[in-house]
Amino acid sequence: MIAIDFAGKNALIMGVSNEKSLGWAIAEQLLAAGARCIFSYQGERLLRNLEKVTAGQQNVLLEPCDVTVEADLERLFAKISSEMGSLDMLVHSVAYAPRASMEGRFIDTTLEDYHTAMSISAYSLISVTRHAEPLLNSGSSIITLTYYASQRVVPKYNVMGVAKAALEASVRYLAAELGPKNTRVNAISAGPMRTVAAKSIPGFTAMYEKAAQTAAMKRNATQEEVGKLGLFLLSDLSSGITGEISYVDAGYNIMGMAID
Ligand code: NAD
């Protein structure tokens, strides 16, 4: 049996809102494997949630960071440098698009909403990776979270689908640049899951049910399954895999048509 031991390894997890967050599903696996984890959170209103989910855990640090604020990124990585010295794993689980841009027609996307969605949901992977680069040990692994709306039209995803397409392309460019330094960059494409971010997607409940009916496995994937894929991609078990988009969606994306 292969056991994953992250004792002595350091991880940064960005984007945990509560115990339903995909970032938390991955962090739980890392903590169980013995990693030291620093969690960055968007603002003070999320600190209480984070304190709650990490209560009783050893090896945990919490630090605020809005990914659109350069000073926040500088402070976060200065803290990682002083408290941890280096990084082995980075989990980017951050996305946002203004609700108005997901309610109306895609053609009506405003430039401001486009910039917001792109800045938070795609560009932040680039800027975070740039800040992390000097701290990354050889053999380190970076993952981000994406969704199938990057590849095919999914109603109401609108500008978020475009941002996820940019995010996935960014994964490939970052993987190519960091590959020679033995740092890997991959994305997990998760099926629909009930989280805070999902609640902001108009019609999410109907879509969640339809996805389960269409998926090869006739169900939706779970947060725990995202966590297990995260563990694999962040560990040496996936040492030859980089620049990939790995689906954990109970086989939704392989279906051309639902079979009753
Ligand atoms: P979530 O709400 O738990 O996590 C999203 C996080 O993004 C939140 O913690 C939020 O604070 C953070 N964030 C937003 N703007 C930020 C900013 N400016 N600075 C710092 N942090 C910011 O929801 P989730 O569903 O766990 O989302 C995590 C990732 O998974 C996202 O990239 C999302 O698109 C992706 N994803 C979710 C689903 C799903 O159905 N829930 C499916 C596929 C992919």
169-212 pLDDT, tens digit each? 999 999 999 999 999 999 999 999 999 999 888 899 999 999 99
Look at residue 3 and tell me if it is in a domain: no
Asked if residues 210 and 167 have their Cβ atoms less than 8 Å apart, the reply is no
| CATH of residue 149 | 3.40.50.720
**pLDDT computed for residue 199 by the predictor:** 84
- Is residue 260 in a domain? no
Tell me the pairing of strands 136-146 and 87-92: parallel
Q: Is residue 258 part of a domain?
A: no
- pLDDT(247) > 90: yes
Is 17's pLDDT higher than 70? yes
Q: Are 35 and 57 in contact (CB under 8 A)?
A: no
Show the domain range for 243.
10-250
pLDDT for the residue numbered 3: 83
Predicted confidence band of residue 86 (pLDDT cuts 50, 70, 90): very high
Does residue 2 surpass a pLDDT of 80? Answer: no
88, pLDDT greater than 70: yes
Which residue puts its alpha carbon closest to atom 29 of ligand 1?
93
* Ligand 1 binding site (Cβ under 6 Å of any ligand atom): 15-17, 21-23, 42, 46, 66-68, 93-96, 120, 145-147, 190, 192-193, 195-198
Average pLDDT of span 139-167: 98
List, in order, residues 6 or more apart from 26 with CB less than 8 Å away.
13, 91, 93, 143, 226, 227, 230, 231, 234
Q: What is the pLDDT of residue 219?
A: 98
Inside any domain, residue 256: no
Which atom of ligand 1 is least distant from the CA of 191?
42
Question: Which residue puts its alpha carbon closest to atom 11 of ligand 1?
Answer: 42
Per-residue pLDDT tens digits for 205-242: 999 999 999 999 999 999 999 999 999 999 999 999 99
* Nearest CA owner, ligand 1 atom 35: 145
The Å distance, Cα 2 to ligand 1 centre, comes to 31
Domain count along the chain:
1
Mutate to test the pocket of ligand 1, among 145, 194, 223 (most ligand atoms within 8 A of CB): 145
Identify which has the larger pLDDT, 202 or 10: 10
What distance, in Å, lies between the first and last C-alpha atoms of the chain?
A: 38
Which sequence positions are flagged as catalytic? 147, 157
Which pLDDT band, with edges at 50, 70 and 90, does 32 fall under? very high
